[in-house]
Structure 1
């Protein structure tokens, strides 16, 4: 045990000794920082132009819908084209879009329809970046480094998600909204430049795939056929079905409870207002960061199926506590523990997918997972919004029941329990 603990630190930082990984980490972090900037910039400039929250909803929807619709296309192209090239092209295209919006905004000629068009184009181009960034790692680091590498990338992702909106808001406060778009463009330019410097390794041979699970892209080369192959590949493997189902359930149980639920809990139960809401969100993010780093430091190949079941059960218990307990310290501790579990399992789950899925279908599997997550989030917000009108107990108890069913379903499959 002492040896294991002594080696945890060096094991976590081992991927950072490789220049391609450092470039990937920096490029991905800059891109996600730019994503955070774009949300704040689009929101602020739309409200400044119209003063209408409804119009803001339209603008943000124009960005979200194309991203969700085209993610499967982006994942399919990532499996046949270079993921590195797609990331570079997406980054520099988004840079051009943001620079154009910023420059037009500074001239005072920016209109709502221009914002809607720019948001839609941004979401469409981003759909090609996201699956690629999730599937490029096996071609950048050795298989033995996947777990700590995913932990470091996850830590960068979570840090960028917090800093992006915060720094974007500061830029707008000090200057004006269009300047935030220009800073955003710089982030994407630098991201593309970092990825350009990465030298990836050749893709693994197709023969590595199980004989009954290989996609037959040569026999059906059309884009639609390749998308169907990716969906079929995901569905045929009970382990993949379970991982994707859990991710979808977690997204459902994440979006609503951790937005609508947190807001209702802070305001109506804990009576702490916006300050308490900030503490709850900070606890979730901090716990996830700690869990991500702990997973990377631990390394190894634990039984991912049991981790999957453990995460669902742990989150279900946490949701039950949130519905029953009215003490702020107890709620904060519970949220911190839930965040830790999400970060910890996420490192091993993603590493398992990258290690076990053939490279020529990996991006499509990832994109299927992402699309289901995109679909679960708005449904969760609607359901939790309706339940919150009844009581916070009804909201969190319903989510806890969904997670309990998920736990039982995972444990019922021997193939899933033995996943490593």
Structure 2
């Protein structure tokens, strides 16, 4: 009888306030990243058609993100996840504000874009692991599969919807417009996330962050599947950028 009563008290997934806030934040955050990225790529091409700078922009955004994903997971396990996600979204929005100021001053250069891309990649490295670890904290166990499918949906449509939206905004509003929209999207994500209410975590952590980080890198190095995926990703992105640079000439 108690089990039946408890089951009736489970909040439906789309009426779960915390999950709804997390989902809405993801709807703003993930596409916002790609809106910024497509804007930065086209701005780089407008500043300099040298393929070296275009490749540097990609590597500056990708390498820190790839290397720090493990650290992002460690931070997600040890600190307040809502706060980490809020800082990640807010810091990316503030980086876009810096870029907008440079645009308005007509002072932006290729190296500004590369430096901001690196900082953007660092901040982004903490977003994805935290979202994944937040989902089981705001849902019941029997709702996890459906909840994860909603979150993964935002991650899967963002690489398509984000660049499409960004390209349209560049054509209609120009570079200042596209970066303003990306900034607003990330600010909206940070504001949404801050209203999530979590219960204090009671699970003690024994190992140190440094030990966890070393173990994560050791596991990735031993796992052939991970190494293959990373190598393939680098090759595909390099080939894509090479073709873009060739076609732009």
Whole-Å separation in 2 of the counterparts to 1:38 and 1:124 = 15
How far is 1:88 from its partner? 0.2
RMSD: 2.6
State how 1:130-209 maps to structure 2 within 5 Å.
130-203=128-201, 205=203
Contact 2:70–2:217 (CA under 8 A) maintained in structure 1: no
Give the structure 1 partner of residue 242 of structure 2: none
4+ residue runs over 3 A deviation: 201-206, 229-232, 373-376, 379-383
Q: Indicate the structure whose relative CO is greater, using CA pairs within 8 Å and at least 6 residues apart.
A: 2
Give the structure 2 partner of residue 228 of structure 1: 214
Contact 2:36–2:182 (CA under 8 A) maintained in structure 1: yes
TM-aligned CA distance change 1:38 to 1:375, over 3 Å: farther
How far is 1:179 from its partner? 2.3
Give the structure 1 partner of residue 97 of structure 2: 99
Of the three residues 28, 31, 41, the one matched with 1:30 is 28
Whole-Å separation in 2 of the counterparts to 1:91 and 1:381 = 25
Give the structure 2 partner of residue 65 of structure 1: 63
Where 1:136 maps in the other structure, the secondary structure is helix
Larger radius of gyration: 1
How far is 1:144 from its partner? 1.2
Give the structure 2 partner of residue 79 of structure 1: 77
Contact 2:13–2:139 (CA under 8 A) maintained in structure 1: yes
Unaligned 5+ segments in structure 1 are 1-12, 207-214, 236-240, 253-372, 384-420
The TM-score with structure 1 as length reference comes to 0.50
The TM-score with structure 2 as length reference comes to 0.82
Give the structure 2 partner of residue 377 of structure 1: 233
Deviations 1:1-47 (A, max 9, x none): xxxxxxxxxxxx94112111111011012111111112111111000
Contact 2:86–2:194 (CA under 8 A) maintained in structure 1: yes
Deviations 1:208-227 (A, max 9, x none): xxxxxxx741xxx3x32221
How far is 1:382 from its partner? 7.2
Whole-Å separation in 2 of the counterparts to 1:113 and 1:381 = 20
